[in-house]
A = this chain, B = another copy of it.
């Protein structure tokens, strides 16, 4: 419908401003070019060339066609590249969804290593909170989820392995009223104080983990924000133990033993076994390495950057 040769013809005519020169540039006979030009006009049922003057020129319609055809040919070239890529086993794009409690910084060197492969795969990394990761996998918004919490739900073609377990600590600011209550803390003491929860802006405004019914809440956009909020005494709640180790040691947060403690949380890596490409396999291989898994589970210990 619009071959590469035809575009080359149009461009040659536009640039050289003559059929003969275009023919010379393309290494063809002038008669061939003349014939092809007329055929092109017939196909589009439009006057593409202004033959009134000595050397013919592109009409506005011809200019439009040339300009847009250039864009189209670029599109086709890119498409060709993508097709080759998929044929060689690399996905066209890979959508990785992590739970929000995993920190993106730890994935950065892995992304850099992936880029170094030169696969051409379009990487898309987003995060979800709570059950959002499983939903993303189920609904096809994700090809691979990392750090999904709770038990894997039933889902066709689902495969997974455990990334590790995350330990939690109930901690409050030393200036918070709960800091002075005798341990272990009972539910009826905690429920009177506001809980800080991580909430997604778009989906899943519903349930939150470790929050008691009827308890007032402060929703913040990330686990990092939650740590900061609790350090400043804006509310209480469970925090990843390894990420607040320094804050606990320096006394900016105080651990409070609870009457019913929170069990360590198992985090999963999961994907769909249909359409396993090379990029997916590569990432799974990375997450199976204990060193990366451990760093993801531990997270970044938060120092105080405000002083």
Contact = CB atoms under 8 A, between A and B. Distances in A.
Contact of A80 (B4, B44, B79): B44
Contact of A76 (B1, B82, B277): B1
Q: How many A residues touch the partner, as a band?
A: 20 to 34
Nearest to A45: B84
B87 A76 contact: no
14 contacts: A1-B3, A1-B4, A2-B76, A45-B87, A46-B86, A60-B87, A60-B277, A64-B83, A65-B79, A68-B82, A72-B72, A72-B75, A72-B79, A75-B75
A59 B72 contact: no
A171 B39 CA distance: 67
B87 A79 contact: no
A26 interface: no
A271 to B, nearest CB: 16
A92 interface: yes
A302 interface: no
A289 interface: no
Interface of A: 1-4, 44-48, 59-61, 64-65, 68-69, 72-73, 75-76, 79-80, 82-84, 86-88, 92, 275, 277
B48 A87 contact: yes
B86 A60 contact: yes
B79 A92 contact: no
Copies of this chain, how many? 2
Contacts of A88: 46
A44 B76 contact: no
Contacts of A61: 83-84, 86-87
- Max count, chain B CB within 10 A of own CB: residue among A46, A75, A92: A46
Contacts of A68: 79, 82
Contact of A87 (B47, B69, B92): B47
A80 B2 CA distance: 10
Nearest to A3: B1
Contact of A72 (B45, B76, B86, B277): B76
A44 B48 CA distance: 30
Contacts of A46: 83-84, 86-88
Nearest to A4: B1
Contacts of A76: 1-2, 72
A87 B83 CA distance: 35
- Max count, chain B CB within 10 A of own CB: residue among A46, A60, A79, A83: A83
A76 B79 CA distance: 15
